[in-house]
Amino acid sequence: MISVSKTWCEFSEHPLGLATARPRLSWDLVVAASGEAASSYQILVASDMALLDRDIGDLWDSGKNPMPRGPLIEYDGKQLRSRQQAWWKVRVWDTDGNPGPYSEFDHFELALLEEDDWAADWLGYLGSSVTGALYLRRPFSLDLPVMKARLYVTGTGFYDVRINGDRVGRQFLEPAPTDNSKRVLYSTFDVSEMLKPGENVLVGILGHGWSGAQKLLAQLEIHLSDGTALRICSDNAVGSSGWTAYKGPIVEDSIYDGETYDSRLEDPSWERSGGDSSETPMQRLGNAMVVDAPGGVLEARSLEAVEVVETRAVLDISQPAPGVYVVDTGQNLAGWLRLLADGPAGREITLRYAESLYGDGRVNQENLRSARATDRLILNGNGPRVWQPTFTYHGFRYVQVEGYPGELGIDAVTVSVVRTAIRTRGQFSCDSEQINALSRAVFWTEASNLCGVPTDCPQRNERMGWLNDMAARTEELVYSFDTTNFLPKWMKDIEDTQDREGAISDTAPYRYGSRPADPVSVCYGLIPWLMITHHGDFRTAERHYDGICRWYHYLSGRAIRWVVSYSHYGDWAPPIGESAIGSIGSSALPSRTPGPLVSTGHFYLLATLLSRIAHALGRESDSLRFATDAQSIRHAFNAAFYDSELMCYGTGNQACNALALYFDMVPDEHVGSTVAALVGDIEAHDKHLTTGNLCTKYVLEALVDHGHADLALELVRQNTYPSWGYMLERGATTIWERWEEATGDGMNSHNHPMYASVGAWFYRRLAGIQVPDDSIGMSRVVFQPELALDLGSASASLLTVRGPLRCAWQRTTSGTIVVSLDVPVGTASELRLPPDMSIVSAIGHASSERFDLDASVFSERPVALSGGCGYRFEVRGPRVASH
């Protein structure tokens, strides 16, 4: 018996405001017994729940179809329109032809897909410039109760909307950053319950955000109980039922500098009907006016919104001087402090955010460069109030609070953890407390750097989506978080940077860095590839295929005989002994890793990825051409960078050799000497890394590939400089940008994800969950944990597009290792063991069955496993007991 345990639409749960008329549906399955698998499916999609209840799919009845290899089924029924609501269910047949029951009903709703669905105009204020937030107010009245209402809304820089004094949605810092001249993301909210018969008020508050321009676009569509439909839009309406602009309590707002809130100007009643009386402290500016649109297409937001994902108590509060409090959250993170305060009108409380402290216990903000990272709250004397900023966020562990009336107690502050609210996908742990601490730091570093784009850091005057860092970081991010909607959005940001020559830029959206981007910006090809293998998403690859090819051709045009020589950063920020400047400053160019070697290596990787992507998309001749190009690049790379005297690559340092090995560019006859050079250099540095943001990942992977997993583990566990352990011993709770400990002015963020790339190594090598190149959305998984390592246990789980997956292993007191696996239905997997280990016993279980497996069957390697089951293997071998 096979049944559906969960359904998804566009990787989301019951999405409201879908950006596509061809949503992709997927589901998790459970089987009762081993060997059962899904053979066919049937999907019914109906415009009405009652129809679905009678098994009628008036919008789409897929009929009985064979299961494809990928996990996603694209809606293929009647043309769906803007605002369409649909209910759906699915059932699945097993391989014996028995149908399972229908799933529970699920539903989705489309956003506004056509330009002419929009009646609203962009609204702003054309008078004197507004330093703080711009407040726009629109009263309106309704004759009857509301049956259904949707608000389609966006703004630039950031917006916040209220209806009758209540905040709409849970989002903050929206919309996610995009190049507004190309694309602006809007959100859809169900506000049916927020409206009432009689007078209502819609308020839009606009911060400066990324663009600086304060503009609102809002379209409120209301259906009354008698069936009448009406719309309240941002438009030129003036007068008693028009839009009016105000200044209010947010008197300064800046992403980098922080927010100043003057409660004396606040008036909660202003947000409700009748609240615009002459008594209000809100300052009336005049009529709001239609302003120029930002220029980009309006696109429904498909990535998750930024939200407060967690509220935490703080660890400690110290008082380095009278009246100066320093809050220690215990964790470097992104977000803000929520403060409870009560004091006289006009009293100003300042909150200065920082990652580190001076010796005297005060906050050190030097490494934030020009970001002031300071919030200010001015009290109004009306009693206790809880406050948090709206249009800024900070990367911090410490907050220095001054001006607080009375004693600042631990109950007066809580921490709001803020990020794009994507689900965590992976969990990893092992029996080494040091590695677990590092894994937690990886998690917090990533979690701090998901703010509409994968940012480089959350604290200083930067917070950009750097493509070079993502070359190393993407795989770890894909294991750790559910990026199914997040990364495709960022791919469009990259697309938006592409110029006529095909060049993309170093950051996306483009704000900083160079154009053309550094040739290491291979994440443009890597993300679509991982979207296929991990999530079964071909759409991202299809959409961006031409763009990636154009970037590839741009690089080809810059290549001379297949060698790309230009390089901006290369293997950026290695230990200072390996960097050109030799001290912590604002540059961190490597001195011993030739830029052309790194650029050409990544050019090769891009050709390889394009060959695989083309193959996956059925473009076989392209695939062949890229594979042939890749061979030419490989050849040229060897001719240019293999040093026959050193018998390895480039200058012979770790970066050069690891890159060549990890990208599989080394001819067989040179593999031995190159591995020996890599290992020799690590030994010569007393088992320390000398690599920068990219090649650090490549060293760890190459070592395992070539039989030196133990050395890789020693690097991971190293605790003298330069190493992750060194960071942890100095109190790091997130990963630093530099291997050095630095707190001064310049480039030394303490929360920088590029060296968090090690997280993927935990999943792939310690726990052993590997996704092979021929996988389509986890259709295949290889379990290959490094069981011979000097560890007692390791375990990882992943929420995959087919359901939960897990690989865990543990040494027993009897000298064996128990390997436990959970495999989703539809995932063909195999367990690969070190050659000198054998299976002594094997049992399996499906949801209602426990079964013994004949261990001798597994003498043939690798061990093939059927999906939908859990397994427990006991393994014995000469190196097992050595721990």
Active-site amino acid positions: 462, 737
Least Å distance between CB 417 and ligand BGC? 22
The DSSP string of 427-474 is: EEEES-HHHHHHHHHHHHHHHTTBSSSB-S-SSSS----BHHHHHHHH
Stretch that binds ligand BGC, among 205-213, 243-251, 461-469, 669-677 (CB under 6 A): 461-469
Stretch that binds ligand BGC, among 78-86, 460-468, 651-659, 711-719 (CB under 6 A): 460-468
Longest dimension (CA), the chain: 87
Is residue 480 near ligand BGC by the rule CB under 6 A? no
Neighbours of 539 (CB within 10 A): 18
Per-residue burial over 368-384, b if 16 or more Cβ lie within 10 Å, else e, is bbebebbbbbbbbeeee
What would the x/- binding string for ligand BGC be over residues 806 to 825, using CB under 6 A?
Answer: --------------------
Contacts of 223 (CB under 8 A, 6+ apart): 146, 147, 148, 149, 229
- Give whichever of 466 and 554 is closer to ligand BGC, judged by the CB atom: 466
Residue at token pair 């392209």: 622
Query: Which residue in 469, 475, 476, 629 binds ligand BGC (CB under 6 A)?
Result: 469
Is residue 456 near ligand BGC by the rule CB under 6 A? yes
CA pair distance 306, 173, nearest whole angstrom: 6
Residue at token pair 């996988």: 775
- Give whichever of 378 and 441 is closer to ligand BGC, judged by the CB atom: 441
Q: φ, ψ for residue 40 (rounded to 5)?
A: -145, 165
Least Å distance between CB 435 and ligand BGC? 24
Residues in 154-213 at the binding interface with ligand BGC, rule: CB under 6 A:
none
Residues in 611-640 at the binding interface with ligand BGC, rule: CB under 6 A:
none
- Give whichever of 457 and 865 is closer to ligand BGC, judged by the CB atom: 457
Q: Is 267 helix (H, G, I), strand (E, B) or coil?
A: coil
Least Å distance between CB 829 and ligand BGC? 36
Contacts of 68 (CB under 8 A, 6+ apart): none
Least Å distance between CB 79 and ligand BGC? 44
- Which residue has the CB atom at the shortest distance from ligand BGC? 456
- Give whichever of 52 and 255 is closer to ligand BGC, judged by the CB atom: 255
Residues in 533-572 at the binding interface with ligand BGC, rule: CB under 6 A:
569, 572
CA pair distance 68, 72, nearest whole angstrom: 8
Contacts of 338 (CB under 8 A, 6+ apart): 311, 386, 387, 388, 413, 414, 415, 416
Stretch that binds ligand BGC, among 47-55, 456-464, 597-605, 831-839 (CB under 6 A): 456-464
Least Å distance between CB 502 and ligand BGC? 21
Residues 60/66/69/73 CA torsion (nearest 10 deg) = 0
Least Å distance between CB 512 and ligand BGC? 7
> Is omega for the bond preceding 519 within 30 degrees of 0, making it cis?
no
Query: Which residue in 210, 428, 466, 486 binds ligand BGC (CB under 6 A)?
Result: 466
Under a CB-based contact definition with an 8 Å cutoff, are residues 493 and 437 in contact? no
Least Å distance between CB 578 and ligand BGC? 16
- Give whichever of 469 and 482 is closer to ligand BGC, judged by the CB atom: 469
> Is omega for the bond preceding 835 within 30 degrees of 0, making it cis?
no
Under a CB-based contact definition with an 8 Å cutoff, are residues 822 and 872 in contact? no
**Strands 306-313, 374-378: pairing kind:** unpaired
Is residue 256 near ligand BGC by the rule CB under 6 A? no
Residues in 691-730 at the binding interface with ligand BGC, rule: CB under 6 A:
693
Under a CB-based contact definition with an 8 Å cutoff, are residues 355 and 459 in contact? yes
- Give whichever of 288 and 333 is closer to ligand BGC, judged by the CB atom: 333
Stretch that binds ligand BGC, among 357-365, 379-387, 455-463, 767-775 (CB under 6 A): 455-463
> Is omega for the bond preceding 862 within 30 degrees of 0, making it cis?
yes
Stretch that binds ligand BGC, among 22-30, 263-271, 463-471, 756-764 (CB under 6 A): 463-471
Q: Is 287 helix (H, G, I), strand (E, B) or coil?
A: strand
Q: Is 850 helix (H, G, I), strand (E, B) or coil?
A: strand
Least Å distance between CB 109 and ligand BGC? 38
Residue at token pair 């459970």: 30
Stretch that binds ligand BGC, among 214-222, 278-286, 308-316, 462-470 (CB under 6 A): 462-470
Give me the residues that bind ligand BGC (CB under 6 A), please: 456-457, 462, 466, 468-469, 569, 572, 693, 747, 754
